[in-house]
Chains A and B, each alone.
Chain A
Amino acid sequence: MVTVYIDEKPYQVEADQSMLDACLSLGMDLPYFCWHPAMKSVGACRQCAVKQFRDENDKKGKIVMACMTPAAEGTRISIKDPEAGEFRARVIEWLMLNHPHDCPVCDEGGECHLQDMTVMTGHNYRRSRYKKRTYKNQYLGPFVNHEMNRCIQCYRCVRFYNDYAGGRDFGVFAAHDHVYFGRHEDGVLESEFSGNLVEVCPTGVFTDRVLKKHYTRKWDLQTAPSICVHCSLGCNIIAGERYGRLRRVINRYNSEVNGYFICDRGRYGFEFVNSDTRLREPFTIPRPGNKQIKILEEGEALPHLKTVLARAKGIIGIGSPRASLEANYLLHKLAGPENFYAGFSGMESSLVQEIISIISKGPVRVSSLREAAMADCVLVLGEDVPNTAPMLGLALRQSVMQKPMEKVINELKIPKWNDQAVREAIQEQRGPLFIAAPTGGRLDGIAASAIHAAPDDIARLGFQVARILSPHAPPVEGAITEDAAHFAERAAKELKEAKRPLIISGAGAGSLAVLQAAANIAWALWEENRETALFLVAPECNSIGLGLMGGRSLDNAVKAVKDGKADTVIILENDIFDRLDFPEAEALVRARHVLAMDHLPTHTTSRADTVLPVSAFAEGGGTLINSEGRAQRFFKVYVPSERIEESWRWLRDLLVDLGRPGSEALFSLDEVTAAMAREFPVLKKAAEAAPPADFRIEGMKVPRQPHRYSGRTANKADVNVHEPKPYEDTDSPLSFSMEGYEGRPPSPLIPRFWAPGWNSVQSLNKFQSEVGGPLKGGPPGIRLIEPVDAKKGEISFFKDLPGPFAPRKNDFFDFFIVPLFHIFGSERLSAMSPSIGELVPAPYIALNPMDAETKKLPEGAEARLEFAAASFRLPVKLDPSLPRGVAGFPIGLPGLHGVVLPAWGRIALPGAENKTYENRDAGA
């Protein structure tokens, strides 16, 4: 800590920051543009000018940029100094010379940092009488709208897109007062983080193109804190609604999870909620063979189900890794522990259980995403991080800066916030990142070394690394390629030298051995370095939560139905055709009664005889547990239309109707969570993820609607001229109203970032304990899983090693088919969003070119892919990174489901065909 003087008052601040950081952390108002809390200082915009004085006797002082001035002991600045104030107003005037002043028609209006800063500096009247500069705008794809005339050249976009997120198809062009930010030509932005430009841009150059289609001002959005459901990272988001439709998703800062950014899947995946195909009413299709849908009118659904369940000869419940803990818990309660199935395939189930076991029984801690970004050496084993856990990929792009940055900071004494200088000093140097995966990925370019192998070989490579690091780890018997041996040597050496090594793996490779190898490496490192961390990517947003709850896998459910032990199946928010081989799924839905609960029609709902429409994430509340083991609460953003209910509420009502003891006490979400916590001690702390429903601040709830929300009394006047009573939220301390506590609520309850004078996302500064630090009151969510302490030599390493992968030559099934992941396409809900749908690739089968040649299958040729239980016809895509004998199947792309991967399959020219399972769309 050092003492600095701001307007002659002394303050104790951290030394390792700029004066702009310090002023903002102290809660002062000092305008800025080019500085960004995640990207720090470059000194371009000159907006944060202050007067600096040499000492207390210096009365003259000089103008400096606060962002480029170190907070050193005795630093004296003045924000109030008239000359500095005038200069800041003049900077705004310069920026406004060419700004179109089109706020009324600009999507940024009302949450524009430029508006806020203009007001802050006091610049009012235009003195220039000259024409403004104009530009040609570009088409940048479905996510981001481009309006260059509004640009104030702060350079944040290019710094984020290129420097921070590693993009290569965006840049700054031309010079002087005609600097241009965009692509070299019109086209879809390639980076999966492009949507962050919307929040990074301080004005309306880059705006949300999806929001534009159903535009609403920030002040008219009803918003609530939510959690992204499109991967297992649990990024915090703010979702906003108007007129019963979800309008947009933006980042909700959580220092431990997503920080300032989210990926495009998370930002734009929400539109499935608004889909025309949403299930909106409960219905039945009485069997057998009846195609007539019977809508269950108000009051009919529960009695119908009660009858069905009362007559059932054995009920089984199938849970869901994308449903809340609470919904899964109530299904568990309804079906009973023996009859609750987790809704995972057998493979997924064992992978998730192995992940949980490794992180809860081993000595190595799971890192948060913040910690992952700080790792100084990373080994990725088997996981295609950019496609299965995109924000972890963004963290890794920061992690490779750590080692060279440390050198620059220590040896050249360049402060780490001096971003441009740090990057100039580092140049192309990157810290050690090692990737072993079945195919090439988008992080390979920044990796010290990337190697591609079959899952078993990746596992063996991992075991080899562990063995090099610790004699307690088991030796690898049999052959290991020279490349792999070299890779293992290098990785082991760098990991050993690192201060904060991180091992990443996950369920993506579909291999227990890969997970176990990752665990062995982490444990071997831990013997010498207690800072070692692990990150295991789970498949879905609540896989870990469901895994902690237990329940057998779907294979067992199928068996129970086949064996006649159950004739009634309740399926919660789950398309079992995504998780089982097609015939198995068929067998399950052939049960006498199938009750499916979901948001959208799926194969499963099309085969169910009763369907209940359930709320999507923004229409309900609940708790999810991410890959970090962090329980996080999401809140209802708005009350869904028609007869959509939260799954947990349907199930609660069923329990009550069935007269299950204790069920009437489960009135609110909190009560369900509390009951779950009692029953599952491992989930006990999940109830503490957010304040309870009866939490009040000064007797008030937290309003979901901003105080400037317009049309409250009139916006339902087309239905009824009387203003309806606001919906009462019994499940949370948030209200569906403008009324309530206007100040800063506890971090898990923040429905929007706003502060007086700060209407844009930059108001976040006012909610943090320090800029870039945790939210006041700590980061939202609560970690449920911490490692157990162990002693060196006592760790029980995994000892069951696979043999080397051997391509099959003479078998009928001659290829090992591994899943390939696409950020846009592999996750089903987000792929239903029209904007993301535009970027979902066409289905294909990927082959090594040499294998393709052997099979006489050139690029683009149609191949027949046959599994034991299903077959497909797909065009061939050549991928030289694929190992021989391994083919890649882009799971989740349209029609590509009904098979559990990895699995052996046959690839051949289409010829005489048997029964085929052609590409089918979900719900078709």
Chain B
Amino acid sequence: MSKPENEQKPLTGNFRADGQPLSLAEYEKTGGYEALRKALQSMSPKEVMEEVKASNLRGRGGAGFPTGQKWSFVPSGEGNPGPKYVVANADEMEPGTFKDRILMENSPHMLIEGMALAAYATGAQEAYIFLRGEYVRSGKALERALGEAYEKNYMGKNIFGQKTAFNLEMRIHMSAGRYMCGEETGLLNSLEGKRAIPRAKPPYPQVTGFLGKPTVVNNVETLCNVPHIIRNGAAWFKGLSRSQDGGTKIYGVSGRVKRPGAWELPMGATIREIFEGHAGGMQDGYKFRGLIPGGASTEFLIEEHLDLPMDFDSLQKAGSRMGTGTMIILDDRTCPVGMQISLQSFFARESCGWCTPCREGLPWIVKTLNSIEDGSGEMEDIDLLLEQARLLAPGHTFCALAPGAAEPLSSGVRYFREDYERHVKERRCPWGNF
């Protein structure tokens, strides 16, 4: 190991101060590509996979599925020669979420190296970065980095020279921009040039993915962790965390806080630590009312939850989800119905239109919320919202989009019901939105 890891912040600790992306040389100075070199020269694909499994790395896209386990579903061995694919889900469209962008803009090689390791572990020889269309800056950084990697033979045929006999072609695909593309099977359809609608699971993408072939789709942050795990070992990685889940996590806060932003912290840092410590708490004149912890598609949490550790299991137990780990704060001067309209309008607009509950239910929710907000709502409308949220349960819909929308809806009505009722009783928005 030429350079020690930044022990607290392996993901973000070596960023340049000026916000420019690390060049290949700079990345290598911080230990970049050592993991890939190590894997190709001294580890079997299976060993790489086992190391990742042992690290308890869980998917950072929101669902928290164990990464090593995901990889292990890719058929391997003699009878499964491929082609196989690795895809980085860089279609970061979850509202309030900007952690992947930070990684790609500052350390593009980290993603590339992580993908190369994932490809090596799963036997893939082609990789795609499916990048959100608006992420022009990330795109430029990645394009430059990929060029550098190819030039130095860190990518392409026989990476690191003849001996390794590992080939990998990597391409960047700029998304045309649908939230649905963040869902891995919708992403694969889109990558194939088809409509971004989800696919039935099973079969899972690890068996029938891109072009019908075995494919691993991982979130950017997930993949960025992989080089560090391989370089420093699973035990080290687990040690970074304060919870069962390995590693650090990039947490973010947006809303009326003193210092909105994102910070890499040990997995399991408490909400209060992030919100009050790093984000500095509420701006003067604003009071905290609640937050959605991990992007738009997670349940509201309130004051009593602030000491919960931000990890997958703790939030699950509290009835929410960590999601992307980037929280949005609701303050007392913002109408909770208005915020809900923003969220639900987004989901309704981004519904792909494939299954009925999502396609028809979400617009009905938006219309109902709008009528509550503009003073024409009825008390039954509030129950209708809860009923719709209940009906948009996982399994009722084809994919997780509508159930995700239902999470802030049901919890929002539950925690702020009085505000909803005031709208109906006063026949206006008490916050003066209408």
Chain A interface (Cβ within 8 Å of chain B)?
Answer: 42-47, 49, 62-64, 68, 87, 90-91, 94-95, 97-98, 127-128, 130, 152-153, 155, 172, 174-179, 412, 414, 418, 420-421, 424-427
Contact = CB atoms under 8 A, between A and B. Distances in A.
A95 B395 contact: no
A95 B348 contact: no
B352 to A, nearest CB: 6
B359 A179 contact: yes
A866 B391 CA distance: 73
Given A44-B355, A153-B353, A412-B208, A177 B360 contact: yes
B203 A421 contact: yes
A62 B391 contact: no
A68 B355 contact: no
A171 to B, nearest CB: 9
A43 B208 contact: no
A94 B356 contact: yes
Contact of B356 (A64, A153, A178, A427): A153
Contacts of A153: 353, 356, 359
A888 to B, nearest CB: 36
Given A42-B200, A418-B200, A424-B212, A177 B359 contact: yes
B356 A176 contact: no
A98 B202 CA distance: 32
Contacts of A97: 360, 363-364
Given A90-B391, A174-B353, 10 more contacts: A46-B357, A46-B396, A47-B356, A87-B396, A91-B356, A94-B360, A97-B360, A97-B364, A176-B349, A421-B199
Given A63-B395, A175-B353, A130 B195 contact: no
Contacts of B431: none
B381 to A, nearest CB: 10
Contact of A177 (B178, B199, B208, B351): B351
A424 to B, nearest CB: 6
Given A172-B195, A414-B203, A427-B212, A44 B356 contact: yes
A208 B23 CA distance: 64
Given A421-B208, A425-B208, A178 B398 contact: no
B398 A46 contact: yes
B356 A177 contact: no
Contacts of B353: 153, 174-179
22 contacts: A43-B200, A43-B355, A43-B398, A45-B355, A46-B356, A47-B356, A63-B396, A87-B391, A91-B357, A94-B356, A97-B364, A127-B384, A153-B353, A172-B195, A175-B351, A175-B352, A175-B353, A177-B348, A179-B353, A414-B203, A421-B203, A427-B211
B397 A46 contact: yes
B15 to A, nearest CB: 37
Nearest to B398: A43
B395 A94 contact: no
B357 A94 contact: yes
Nearest to A42: B200
B357 to A, nearest CB: 6
B189 to A, nearest CB: 8
B207 interface: yes
Nearest to A413: B203
Interface string B364-396: 100100010000000000001000000101011
Contact of B361 (A42, A45, A94): A94
B286 interface: no
A64 B395 contact: yes
Nearest to B211: A427
Given A44-B398, A177-B363, A412 B207 contact: yes
Contacts of A49: 396
B163 to A, nearest CB: 34
Contacts of B211: 427
A68 B348 contact: no
A638 B384 CA distance: 54
A153 B351 CA distance: 13
B203 A425 contact: yes
Interface string B339-353: 000000000111111
B186 to A, nearest CB: 11
Contacts of A172: 195
Nearest to A155: B354
Nearest to B208: A425
B255 to A, nearest CB: 27
Contacts of B384: 127
A90 B360 CA distance: 11
Contact of B360 (A42, A98, A175): A98
A323 B395 CA distance: 57
The 5 closest A-B pairs by CB, nearest first: A94-B360, A179-B353, A176-B351, A427-B212, A130-B367
Contacts of A174: 353
B396 A130 contact: no
Given A44-B356, A420-B199, A176 B363 contact: yes
Contacts of A175: 178, 180, 350-353
A421 B201 CA distance: 8
A178 B360 CA distance: 10
Contacts of B350: 175-176
B331 to A, nearest CB: 30
A68 B203 CA distance: 12
A803 B208 CA distance: 50
A43 B201 CA distance: 11
B200 A420 contact: yes
Contacts of B395: 62-64
A176 B396 contact: no
Interface string B183-205: 00000000000010001101100
Contact of B364 (A47, A128, A426, A427): A128
Contacts of A64: 395
A535 B202 CA distance: 38
Contacts of B357: 46, 90-91, 94
Contacts of B371: 130
Nearest to A131: B367
Contacts of B348: 176-177
A176 B353 CA distance: 4
A127 B391 CA distance: 15
Nearest to A411: B79
A88 B39 CA distance: 53
Contacts of A68: 200
A42 B384 CA distance: 29
A113 to B, nearest CB: 15
Contacts of A63: 393, 395-396
A151 to B, nearest CB: 11
A417 B210 CA distance: 21
B315 to A, nearest CB: 23
Contacts of B360: 94-95, 97-98, 177
Interface string B286-328: 0000000000000000000000000000000000000000000
Contacts of B363: 97, 176-177
A576 to B, nearest CB: 54
B190 to A, nearest CB: 12
Contacts of A418: 200
A551 B211 CA distance: 58
B203 A412 contact: yes
A45 B397 CA distance: 9
B316 to A, nearest CB: 18
A712 B352 CA distance: 49
B208 A414 contact: yes
Contacts of B180: 175
Nearest to A178: B353
A345 B355 CA distance: 57
Contacts of B397: 46
Contacts of A155: 354
B80 to A, nearest CB: 10
Contacts of A87: 391, 396
A198 B199 CA distance: 27
A150 B356 CA distance: 14
Interface string B20-36: 00000000000000000
A43 B211 CA distance: 21
